[in-house]
Amino acid sequence: MLDQIRIILVNTTHPGNIGAVARAMKNMGLADLCLVAPKRFPDPEADARASGATDILASATLVDSLEDAIADCHLVVGTSARGRHIPWPIMNPRELAGVVGKVASETRVAIVFGREDRGLTNEELHRCHHHVQIPTNPDFSSLNVAAAVQVIAYELRMLHESLDEPSAPKWGTQWDIELAQAKELELLFEHLEKTLVDIEFLDPGNPRQLMTRLRRLFLRAVPDKVEVNVLRGILSSVDVVVGKDHPKKG
């Protein structure tokens, strides 16, 4: 899917922005960059801001007009700030990703970004099938062009990963240890309660909500087996100090 996407920058003024776009694209797994009549390119400032994504810059295509840039594309999406007068099918970046996710595998999709100071002209926008708007603070709505590419490329990446991985991982790596079973947790809570009585923190005649609060706290964290063993080990060390070493159960 990601290799069906072409990012097109129209009349970019600052080469640093082109470099930052290349970096954002490569970070998100996009590779097809097309530059329509950039003011300065190639340029060392573009290379510097690309920060390792210079391959994207080296393989970028340069063309004279938007027409040339989109000629072989099947679906063209223009980015637009708020407040255009002409009604046009408009989407946010997430909806765009939804549309891109549904196109056929032969469909080439162009996403077009305008000039730093005034975006795309109405004529350019009218070449687009859809317009996409990034939601912004209405009092300060002009995004840097690389920031706009970053947001849209991120949505495409999210789509890509959801296609690749039906069940997204919940932890940074696979959790390394099996979760504790209910019976182990019950033994932990039993042990905890006895020790709290022994150190006279818990008054068995007036237990109030103490164990309930502690249960809620630990259960919320969904402890694994090693964590439960660590906690039981701490309790056993306290038991030794207080002189009431309980025989270990479980």
Comparison of 71 and 230: residue with beta carbon closer to its own copies: 230
Comparison of 2 and 62: residue with beta carbon closer to its own copies: 2
Q: Which stretch binds its own copies (CB under 8 A): 20-28, 68-76, 97-105, 181-189?
A: 20-28
Task: Out of 58, 163, 179, 199, name the contact with its own copies by CB under 8 A.
Answer: 199
> Smallest distance, Å, CB 63 to its own copies?
26
Contact (Cβ atoms closer than 8 angstroms) between residue 23 and residue 52: yes
* Secondary structure E strands in 19-70: 32-36, 61-63
Question: What CA–CA distance (Å, rounded) separates 76 from 95?
Answer: 14
Q: Which stretch binds its own copies (CB under 8 A): 36-44, 67-75, 87-95, 96-104?
A: 87-95
Task: Out of 37, 99, 103, 214, name the contact with its own copies by CB under 8 A.
Answer: 214
The helix (run of H) or strand (run of E) holding residue 220 is helix 210-221
Buried b (16+ CB within 10 A) or exposed e, 166-202: eeeeeeeeeeeeeebeeebbebbeebbbbbbebeeeb
Task: Out of 13, 27, 54, 121, name the contact with its own copies by CB under 8 A.
Answer: 27
The helix (run of H) or strand (run of E) holding residue 232 is helix 225-242
Note whether 92 binds its own copies by CB under 8 A.
yes
Q: Which stretch binds its own copies (CB under 8 A): 57-65, 67-75, 106-114, 229-237?
A: 229-237
- 120-179 residues near its own copies, rule: CB under 8 A: 131, 133-137, 140-144, 146-147, 150-151, 154, 157-158, 161, 168-176
Note whether 6 binds its own copies by CB under 8 A.
no
> Smallest distance, Å, CB 56 to its own copies?
10
Question: What CA–CA distance (Å, rounded) separates 115 from 117?
Answer: 6
Question: What CA–CA distance (Å, rounded) separates 148 from 140?
Answer: 14
